[in-house]
Structure 1
């Protein structure tokens, strides 16, 4: 009986660990912008057929350049959607929106 209970407990804990690994987090707007920038820089380097040190230098310069500023309205939409996905309400939502909009200004 003890062995059976131990097997059930092990199976249950393994299934929970597996399920936790399967949850995919959505990137924040800032993370998504960085991913998009990486894709664009990589595509540009590929189009220019850059290799080796030349490619490394190009990628470094491309990634360190400032992105085109999003409009305030775009920032509000992205932060608002993120707050909605997190089901935030009241003061929690206000705090999140404030931090989100400040983070996008950098």
Structure 2
């Protein structure tokens, strides 16, 4: 068994983690007061309800950022090996970029990039 040392390490660290977590739960101070359970906002009383949801536009812009960020991670290996690729590799990446550009144009036309409506 090649990974016996790693298995022993995982068992010991898991057991130790459970023991420390249990000890902190058992020995911890459990008398919350209003000051301790109140919402903290930079030392001031909160101005608004802290449970207000974010705007859907915020999530849409975040998802679009992730999509185009992933595009860069797909293009990096191509850029590194560009000189060694055949012409087919070049056209596959151009097709990939064309499809992403069409998606960006569609989002732009539909108003997905506008913050205010």
Instruction: Output the TM-score relative to the length of structure 1.
Output: 0.27
Greater helix fraction, Structure 1 or Structure 2:
1
Instruction: Output the TM-score relative to the length of structure 2.
Output: 0.25
Query: Which has the larger Rg?
Result: 2
